[in-house]
């Protein structure tokens, strides 16, 4: 399960329906062009929190059918509705996904015992492994070393997608739990996380920058830090331009320039203006 995983985008048509052919093209591009080790399906980048349970299932089915056994698959099933999360956990387990992941429950200010119960409930009766998805900036949920340790007491919880800038905590986690999988979640900090010996990374920009990300990770592992730093610099230039122009919209348009029908974002996300559309194309021409 180690390596680089793309936080997979989903292709939607103008009405917000899943574009199956476009989704299959995004999957193939990530495997055949970006050459990532796996796909993280229905995460934030897949606009997961804007779609229905049935749409989530449809995406899980299409991706598994397209991938087969070519790369590893993680299914993000986390939801404020723990019944939905449990249902999806069973659904993807039956489909043959390699692991599930679940974002910490958000919006309501859940205490740690409630968060712990959420994860244990999702895993009840399901023969699978789970990666915690920790992203405090968006969920408002921060956990300390001891709390991660309590969650790891459940043998089915095998690691964490660590999307936080607290690299002191990251180092402490790596030292305290050498047998747990730790994935970096901030693409712009991949080199710094790699130096701390993470097991891999899961990133949005890997949809268009997977090759560079893999180079950074591989070079850092072999101690070639100066080379890795140069590629991280180019990567961060790209990320800066993407963020300034509109994250998901720009990545989708960059994929479109490569012949991948990545489609539209779902409302309430807005579409790119003509000016930003042209900017997205120029970013693609510059970096792809």
The CATH code of the domain that includes 92 is 3.20.20.70
Q: Are 80 and 43 in contact (CB under 8 A)?
A: no
Does residue 287 have an active-site annotation? no
Residue at 239 is within a domain: no
pLDDT given for residue 243 in this prediction: 98
Q: Are 152 and 177 in contact (CB under 8 A)?
A: yes
pLDDT given for residue 114 in this prediction: 98
pLDDT given for residue 20 in this prediction: 98
Q: Which two structure tokens, joined as six digits, stand for 67?
A: 């991938």
Residue at 274 is within a domain: no
Residues of the chain with pLDDT under 70: none
Crossing angle for the helix pair 274-287 and 225-245, to the nearest 10 degrees: 170
Residue at 141 is within a domain: yes
Ligand-binding site membership of 184 (annotated): no
Convert 178-187 to b/e letters by CB count within 10 Å (16 or more is b): eebbbbbbbb
Ligand-binding site membership of 54 (annotated): no
Ligand-binding site membership of 222 (annotated): no
Which residue of the set 161, 180, 252, 279 is catalytic? 161
Kindly provide the residue ranges of all beta strands, DSSP E only, lying in the chain, ordered along the sequence.
Answer: 3-7, 38-41, 72-76, 99-103, 130-134, 157-162, 181-184, 200-203
Ligand-binding site membership of 104 (annotated): no
Ligand-binding site membership of 159 (annotated): no
pLDDT given for residue 117 in this prediction: 98
Q: Are 195 and 225 in contact (CB under 8 A)?
A: yes
Q: Which two structure tokens, joined as six digits, stand for 91?
A: 């659904």
Residue at 219 is within a domain: no
Residue at 267 is within a domain: no
Q: Are 243 and 199 in contact (CB under 8 A)?
A: no
Ligand-binding site membership of 205 (annotated): no
Q: Distance (Å, rounded) from C-alpha 238 to C-alpha 259? A: 20
In the chain, the number of structural domains is 1
Residue at 247 is within a domain: no
Average pLDDT across the chain, whole number: 98
- The single residue listed with the structure tokens 């050498």 is 178
Which residue of the set 97, 133, 248, 264 is catalytic? 133
Ligand-binding site membership of 44 (annotated): yes
Does residue 133 have an active-site annotation? yes
Residue at 14 is within a domain: yes
pLDDT in tens, 161-194: 999 999 999 999 999 999 999 999 999 999 999 9
Ligand-binding site membership of 188 (annotated): yes
SS3 235: helix
Residue at 276 is within a domain: no
Q: Which two structure tokens, joined as six digits, stand for 103?
A: 């974002």
Q: Distance (Å, rounded) from C-alpha 240 to C-alpha 97? A: 33
Q: Which domain holds residue 52?
A: 3-214
């Amino acid at each position: 399960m180690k390596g680089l995983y793309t936080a997979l985008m989903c292709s939607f048509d103008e009405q917000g329906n899943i574009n199956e052919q476009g989704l299959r093209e995004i999957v193939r591009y990530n495997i055949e062009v970006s050459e990532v080790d796996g796909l993280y399906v229905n995460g934030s980048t897949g606009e997961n929190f804007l779609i229905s349970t049935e749409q989530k299932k449809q995406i899980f089915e299409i991706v598994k059918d397209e991938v087969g056994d070519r790369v590893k698959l993680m299914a993000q099933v986390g939801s404020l509705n723990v019944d939905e999360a449990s249902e999806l956990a069973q659904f993807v387990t039956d489909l043959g996904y390699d692991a599930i992941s679940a974002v910490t429950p958000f919006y309501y200010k859940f205490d740690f015992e409630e968060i712990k119960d959420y994860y244990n409930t999702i895993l009840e009766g399901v023969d699978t492994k789970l990666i915690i998805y920790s992203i405090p900036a968006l969920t408002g949920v921060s956990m300390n070393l001891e709390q991660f340790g309590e969650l790891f007491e459940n043998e089915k919880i095998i690691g964490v997608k660590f999307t936080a800038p607290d690299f002191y905590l990251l180092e402490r986690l790596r030292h305290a739990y050498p047998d747990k999988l730790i994935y970096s979640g901030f693409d712009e900090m991949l080199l710094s996380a790699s130096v701390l010996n993470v097991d891999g990374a899961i990133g949005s920009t890997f949809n268009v920058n997977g090759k560079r990300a893999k180079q950074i990770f591989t070079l850092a592992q072999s101690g070639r830090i100066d080379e890795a730093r140069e590629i991280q610099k180019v990567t961060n230039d790209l990320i800066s331009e993407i963020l300034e122009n509109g994250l998901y919209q720009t990545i989708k348009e960059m994929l479109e320039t490569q012949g991948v029908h990545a489609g539209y974002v779902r409302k309430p996300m807005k579409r790119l203006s003509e000016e930003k559309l042209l900017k997205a194309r120029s970013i693609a021409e510059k970096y792809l």
